[in-house]
Amino acid sequence: MEPHTNRCAVVGIAVMLGWAALTGCSSDESPSSPASSAASVVKSGASDLASAASSAAASAVTAAASSAEAAASSALEDVKGGLDAKSDVTLGNVAVGSNNKAEVPVTVTNHDSKSRSYTIVVNFKDQSGNLLDVAVLEVADVAAGKTAHATAKSNRDLTGTVTAEVSNALRY
């Protein structure tokens, strides 16, 4: 009769850099109860760590977006005598460049009879509509009845599908 083969003498649990790992074991017999329990604990711990990391990342994105929103509001408050001009602004398609910054072409059409400048706030969002970043763009001296082109760029690295919308635009 051939001797029983056991390729694992000790089941070990290592925690390194916040991730848990279980050393591999194999045997001719079904896993022992301690090994199964250890594997279950590691699997549960890894799942908890992944959930915590996901929550922390979401919180960081929300905090950064809130900070960008506050900066945009401050920029709009500096505009004296500005009139709502969202209808004068259109956006093209968003592209995320090799530098991981999102960029969107902006077209401004001055429908007024005098040369005007514009302060435009562009929100960058993910597929679910969550705010990722905010850009404030100044387009100066657009001649009466003319169109100007500019590019709004994200301040942060953005990945995945990113959309953009004009949150606010003031003409002055």
Specify burial of residue 121 (Cβ count, 10 A radius: 0-12, 13-18, 19+). Answer: buried
Q: What is the pTM of this model?
A: 0.59
Lowest-confidence pick of 5-9, 76-80, 98-102, 168-172: 5-9
Amino acid identity, position 83:
L
Looking at residue 81, what is its pLDDT?
Answer: 74
**Half-sphere exposure (CA, 13 Å, Cβ side) for 102?**
26
- 66 near 155, Cβ under 8 Å? no
